[in-house]
A = this chain, B = another copy of it.
Amino acid sequence: MQTTASSRSQIPTLRAVAELAGVSTSTASRVITGSPQVTEDSVARVTAAIAELGYVPNRAARSLVRRQPQTIAMMIPERTAEFFADPYFAEVIQGAAAYASSTDYSLTLLIESESDPEKTHQVLSRGNVGGALILSHHSASEAYFTLSRSLPVVFGVRPPGGEDADIHVVDVDNVAAAALAAGHLVERGAVRVATITAPLDTSAGRERLQGWRDTLESAGLAPGGWEEGDYTPAGGAAAMRRLLERADTFDAVFVASAQMASGALGVLQSRGVRVPEDVAIATLDNNYFSTSTTPPLTTVDLHTEEKGAMMVQALVRLIEGATVDTEVFVPITLVERESTAL
Interface residues of A (CB under 8 A from B): 1, 3-4, 6-8, 10-11, 54, 56, 58-61, 63-64, 67-69, 71, 74, 76, 80, 83-85, 87, 89-91, 93-94, 96-98, 100-101, 106-111, 122-123, 125-128, 149-152, 232-234, 266, 287-288, 292, 305, 319, 321
A6 CA / B58 CA spacing, docked (Å)? 26
Q: Which residue of B54, B122, B151, B321 is within 8 Å of A7 (Cβ)?
A: B151
What CA separation (Å) do A76 and B305 show in the bound complex? 14
CB atoms of A110 and B84 under 8 A apart: no
Bound-complex Cα distance A108 to B109 (A): 6
- Closest residue on chain B to residue A91 by CB atoms: B84
Cα distance A123–B11 in the bound complex, in angstroms: 12
Distance (whole angstroms) from the CB of A67 to the closest CB of chain B = 6
B7, B84, B94, B109: the one contacting A83 at CB < 8 Å is B94
Query: Do B56 and A64 have beta carbons less than 8 Å apart?
Result: no
Inter-chain CA distance A59–B111, complex, in Å, is 18
With both chains docked as a complex, state the minimum distance between the C-beta of A154 and any C-beta of chain B, in angstroms: 14
CA distance A325 to B125 in the complex (A): 37
The contact of A56 among B56, B96, B128, B149, by CB within 8 Å, is B128
Which residue in B69, B87, B107, B152 is a CB contact (below 8 Å) of A59? B69
B83 touching A97 by the CB < 8 A rule? no
CB closest chain-B residue, reference A7? B150
Contact residues in B for A232 (Cβ distance below 8 Å): 288, 292
State A202–B85 Cα separation when bound (angstroms): 25
Contact between B128 and A109, CB atoms less than 8 A apart: no
Residues in chain B near residue A59, CB distance under 8 A: 60, 63, 69, 128
The reply to whether B126 and A56 contact each other, CB–CB distance below 8 Å, is yes
Q: Are B84 and A84 in contact (CB under 8 A)?
A: no
List, in ascending order, chain B residues with CB within 8 A of A68's CB: 4
Cα of A149 to Cα of B85 in the assembled complex, Å: 37
Known: A94-B76, A321-B4. A85 touches B288 (CB 8 A): yes
Q: Given A84-B94, A305-B80 in contact, is the A58-B127 Cβ separation under 8 Å?
A: yes
Contacts A7-B151, A60-B69, A234-B292 given; indicate if A111 touches B98 (C-beta within 8 A): yes
Given A64-B60, A232-B288, A107-B109 contact (CB < 8 Å): yes
A-B CB proximity, top 9 nearest: A60-B63, A56-B126, A7-B150, A97-B109, A60-B64, A1-B321, A11-B127, A106-B108, A60-B60
With A1-B321, A89-B90, A98-B111: A128-B58 Cβ-Cβ less than 8 Å:
yes
Q: Bound complex: CA of A227 vs CA of B7, how far in Å? A: 47
